[in-house]
Amino acid sequence: MKSIYKTLIYLLTILPFTGCVSEIPNASNFEPQIFISGFLTNGTEYVNIKIQRTVPVNEQNLNPINDAQISLFMKDSHGNNELITDSFDIRKGTYRSSEMITTIVGNAYWVEIMLSDGTTFVSEREVLKPAIVVKDIEITSELNRVIFSDPLDDTNFYLINFLFYNGGSLDLKVNELTNDVLFNGNENATFDSTEFLVDNPQEVRVRISNLNFNSYQFYLNQFAQFENQITNAGSESDPGQLFLPPPANLTGNIVNTTNNTKALGFFSVRNTTEFIKLF
């Protein structure tokens, strides 16, 4: 099955940014906005959230925010709300929980963020969905395929990463998005990636993240915008642009409750499974 959008990230060689921008908006018209990004996954690990202000397109430096207050909350299956932590270590706009967080499948999680000026942001509550059982990987000259078990009683949205290794080094990472409309409940569901193929990889890893709908929509918009950048920039474009200061139209699942508007960025709750196969 084809994904709706896909993007390719070459990690072996990333060229310096050489593209140019044909038009730079007047600096006096630029209004910086807050961009928030982070995710919570299965297992026990630290939670990382990045907060920064957007910068004009002719600037490459980030503008981190280091004085925000973050609270991570949980709602359990009985409807009880609980503060998980409000203790975070801060470094250059990245907030890392002071302790490792253990998540529970079926519980909902969200963050509340307050800036020093009192502006408050709240992410939508997202449920940690079950882990996906990956059964096999097939790599041929015509396709990259992952075989897995799709849950029956839920509409699922997936971020699928194919990672190709040779000599212990990561050569290529291909990101795909799909839903389970065509294979809902299939014990041997297959997803095929056909556009970017690797000859004779020594090792292939596949990561399947079971997403909530809002996070899925954010990734769709992000992938579409990245492809548009590549198309418009031509051969001089750099795939690394995806990780430059955030673009101004990527709204996700976070609301500025101070003025009741959608904020840039997202806080995703997802369950990720990794499957490794040697060739």
**Number of compact structural domains in the chain:** 2
Token pair of 236 as six digits: 């001089």
Q: Residue 275 in contact with residue 205, Cβ under 8 Å? A: yes
In 3D, which of 68, 70, 72 has the Cα closest to residue 117?
Answer: 68
CA–centroid distance for 11 within its chain: 17
Based on the domain organization, do 87 and 139 belong to the same domain?
Answer: no
Based on the domain organization, do 80 and 193 belong to the same domain?
Answer: no
Global pTM? 0.81
Q: Give the pLDDT of residue 177.
A: 95
Q: Give the pLDDT of residue 52.
A: 95
pLDDT digits (tens, 9 = 90+) for 228-268: 665 555 444 444 444 444 454 677 899 999 999 999 989 99
Q: Give the pLDDT of residue 232.
A: 57
Structural domain that includes position 186 = 131-212
pLDDT in tens, the chain (279 residues): 444 444 444 333 333 333 333 344 455 577 888 999 999 999 999 999 999 998 887 777 779 999 999 999 999 999 999 999 999 999 999 999 999 999 999 999 999 999 999 999 999 999 999 999 999 999 998 999 999 999 988 889 999 999 999 988 999 999 999 999 999 999 999 999 998 888 889 999 999 999 999 999 989 888 887 776 655 554 444 444 444 444 546 778 999 999 999 999 899 999 999 999 999
Helix, strand, coil percent content, the chain, rounded in steps of 5: 10, 45, 40
Residues paired with 102 in a beta bridge:
44
- Cα separation of the two ends of the chain: 23
Q: Give the pLDDT of residue 56.
A: 81
Based on the domain organization, do 180 and 226 belong to the same domain?
Answer: no
Q: Which residues of 229-240 are buried (b: 16+ CB within 10 A; e: fewer)?
A: bbeebeeebbbe
Token pair of 108 as six digits: 């909902």
Based on the domain organization, do 123 and 109 belong to the same domain?
Answer: yes
Last residue of a domain, one of 212, 230, 255: 212
Q: Give the pLDDT of residue 23.
A: 42
Based on the domain organization, do 93 and 182 belong to the same domain?
Answer: no
Instruction: Tell me if 13 is assigned to some domain.
Output: no
| C-alpha to C-alpha distance for 25 and 19, rounded to whole angstroms | 17
Whether the CA torsion 26, 27, 29, 31 is positive or negative: it is: positive
- The CATH number of the domain holding residue 206 is 2.60.40.10
pLDDT digits (tens, 9 = 90+) for 106-123: 999 999 999 999 999 999
Instruction: Tell me if 192 is assigned to some domain.
Output: yes
Q: Give the pLDDT of residue 199.
A: 83
Single-letter amino acid code for the residue at 86? D
Instruction: Tell me if 19 is assigned to some domain.
Output: no
Q: Give the pLDDT of residue 27.
A: 53
Based on the domain organization, do 118 and 232 belong to the same domain?
Answer: yes
Instruction: Tell me if 5 is assigned to some domain.
Output: no
Q: Give the pLDDT of residue 28.
A: 57
Last residue of a domain, one of 170, 187, 212: 212
Q: Give the pLDDT of residue 26.
A: 52
Instruction: Tell me if 107 is assigned to some domain.
Output: yes
Instruction: Tell me if 115 is assigned to some domain.
Output: yes
